[in-house]
Amino acid sequence: MQKHEKIEKKIILLSLWTGICFVIFEFFAAIYTGSQSVLMDAAYDASELLMLGLTLFLMPLFYRPISEKRPFGYAQIESFLVIIKGFMMLSVTIGLSAKSVEIALSGGNLVDGGLISVIQFIIALASLLVLVAMQRLNRSISSPIIDVEIYGWKIDVAYSLGMGAAFFASTFFEGTKLEILSPYFDQIIALLIIIFMLPEVIKMLFRAIKDLFLFSPETETMETVKDICGTILSEWKIEPTFYDVTRTGRRMWVVVYFQVQKEFLEVAALTKATTAINRALHEQFEHCVCELILDTDPLKNKSVDSLNSNE
């Protein structure tokens, strides 16, 4: 087993076992307090556990080399897993949103704000410890699955702190004009969590769909690739005419079509430029491979580039 695969497996196992403990604790807390927002927290974590188990089972495939039979290896499976996870989170969000609205329309639900705030602060502290441990392990690897997982723990820390602070503040509503909100406060917090999380879930989902269908990466990634390649190629008097960038899962392939102004091109110079580009791209994108191809018909590629920009 490769070093990076071992580290990635440790991170997934850490997230899996701590996640199981969190889900058990949160479900009991939701039953005891009758809180819809705590139940939502538990449901999100439970849906993630299913994906973590599947990811752990399929992880060895991500490290298998590409071949003539499988030119992309098994990288697309990783994008597919992210899509499944995104749809699961969306379905949980929609279901719990409907339940929160139903409870609010039926008169709301009074909960013990002080108790829930203590529970959420405990969860936030424990989540922070797990997050720090995962980030330390993740320093030397690059993995979309791990990046999504770490983002999930960041969200856990953020909204647990937010919920704890909000429910603590709600204990001061009694005897004030805001007391009328008390029966609906739990549902309001649950819906605010949904509003906060939904955009990032949708963004993650669309990125994975693009990767699955081998569309070009987002503009920020494309600009980074062009900047790295263009800077190095200019040192060798090589002019790029077209960038063909494909990403799926953790793997990314960059093909740079180029032309030269002089009549002859030294093979040694092209080899050195290719090596320099691959080294620089590898520092930014761990699983990235670049090749340079002489553009024998630059007008054709320019017309294709123009068409893509118009779309």
Contacts for 207 with CB less than 8 Å, ≥ 6 apart: 82, 218
Q: Is there a contact between 174 and 127 (Cβ–Cβ < 8 Å)? A: no
Last-in-domain residue among 212, 232, 264: 212
Rounded to 10 degrees, the C-alpha dihedral 63/64/65/70 comes to -130
Which of 281, 206, 212 lies closest to 246, judged by CA?
212
Domains: count for the chain: 2
Q: Are residues 260 and 291 in the same domain?
A: yes
Residue 109 confidence class, pLDDT cut points 50, 70, 90: low
Which CATH number do you get for residue 102?
A: 1.20.1510.10
Q: Are residues 227 and 157 in the same domain?
A: no
pLDDT at position 290 is 93
Q: Are residues 32 and 147 in the same domain?
A: yes
Say if residue 244's pLDDT is above 80.
Answer: yes
Which CATH number do you get for residue 258?
A: 3.30.70.1350
Stronger pLDDT, 112 or 21, i.e. the higher one = 21
Question: Rounded to an integer, what distance in angstroms lies between the CA atom of residue 168 and that of residue 116?
Answer: 8
pLDDT in tens, 143-201: 667 777 787 788 778 778 877 877 787 777 777 777 777 777 767 776 777 777 778 77
- DSSP SS3 for 243: strand
Q: Is there a contact between 15 and 52 (Cβ–Cβ < 8 Å)? A: yes
Q: At what angle do helices 36-62 and 144-170 cross, to 10 degrees?
A: 170
Q: Are residues 74 and 94 in the same domain?
A: yes
Q: Are residues 208 and 226 in the same domain?
A: no
Residue 309 confidence class, pLDDT cut points 50, 70, 90: very low
Q: Are residues 93 and 135 in the same domain?
A: yes
Q: Are residues 55 and 182 in the same domain?
A: yes
Q: Are residues 227 and 172 in the same domain?
A: no
Stronger pLDDT, 98 or 256, i.e. the higher one = 256
pLDDT at position 85 is 75
Would you call 154 exposed, middle or buried from its count of C-beta atoms within 10 A (0-12, 13-18, 19+)?
middle
Range of the domain at 61: 3-212
Q: Are residues 197 and 305 in the same domain?
A: no
Question: To which H or E segment does residue 200 belong?
Answer: helix 185-212
Question: Rounded to an integer, what distance in angstroms lies between the CA atom of residue 209 and that of residue 159?
Answer: 27
Catalogue the E-assigned strands of 42-188. Answer: none
Last-in-domain residue among 181, 212, 243: 212
> Mean pLDDT: which of 29-38, 132-141, 153-162, 218-227 is highest?
218-227
pLDDT in tens, 3-31: 777 887 888 888 889 989 989 998 898 88
Residue the block writes with tokens 């949904």 = 194
